[in-house]
Amino acid sequence: MKHGTLLGLGYVFIVFPLERFFVAFRDMTGCDTLGNNPLRVPTFYSSPDKDDGTAAVLGVCVLIVFGAIHCIAWSFHFATLPERWAWRISAILVSGLPIAITAFSVLLLIFEKEIKTTRMKLYEDFLTFIVICLYIIARLVLLVLPFMALRALLPGAYVQLNWVSFLPHI
């Protein structure tokens, strides 16, 4: 209230939801907020005793396969050319960003001793934020485009089937 109505609305509708999302996201990936609360376990919690990287490798593989499934529709029919390119770019991002962030993380682990500055940590956090935002936007595009495609179906979608010929016992 002390900063005015416009800034207050900006905080309520933009900053606060994003802050809650990224705190929960950090909680899911970091699992470091158990603190002194023995009754709370973060989402996707796994014991820190078994941190051999198997879960991370499996997660990256699942993300890559998920993106590759969307690349199957590379040459499918789309209503407009921009929709086709939006699908293609989003499918590449969804399958390629996990590879890029994994390569970046491996490089950071290799050169961890040489790079211990706060400026590098700031760059790492900024790059991670950008990659996560790109991934979320690409997933949203892949979610919205199929619904948009319903407005321009191919003529074969309107053909009525004679189900008795396929299922004679009906």
Kindly report, residue by residue over 97-113, the tens digit of the pLDDT: 999 888 888 887 787 76
Are 132 and 55 in contact by the 8 Å Cβ rule? The answer is: no
pLDDT top residue among 89 and 122: 89
pLDDT of 1 > 60? The answer is: no
pLDDT band for position 21 (cuts 50, 70, 90): confident
**Three-state secondary structure call for residue 115:** coil
Angle, vertex CA 144, rays to CA 139 and CA 146, nearest 5: 110
Instruction: For tokens 């996990």, name the residue.
Output: 98
Could you give the CA distance from residue 54 to residue 32 in angstroms, rounded to a whole number? 19
Mean predicted confidence (pLDDT) in 54-74: 89
pLDDT score of 49? 63
Confidence of residue 77 (pLDDT cuts 50, 70, 90): confident
Task: Please report, as a single letter, which amino acid is at residue 23.
Answer: V
d(C-alpha 45, C-alpha 14), whole Å: 28
- Average pLDDT of 45-54? 66
The pLDDT, as a whole number, for residue 142 is 95
Q: Judge contact between 40 and 32, C-beta under 8 A.
A: no
| Separation between Cα atoms, residue 58 and residue 125, nearest integer Å | 23
pLDDT reported for residue 58: 87
Give the pLDDT confidence score for residue 31 in this predicted structure: 58
Phi, psi of 145, rounded to the nearest 5 degrees: -60, -40
Residue 35: pLDDT band with limits 50, 70, 90: low
Q: State the residue for tokens 């960003």.
A: 97
pTM metric for this prediction: 0.65
Nearest Cα to Cα of residue 102 among 138, 139, 131: 131
DSSP state of 161: P
**pLDDT value at position 155?**
86
Residue 41 contacts residue 34 (beta carbons within 8 Å): yes
Residue with tokens 């009906």: 170
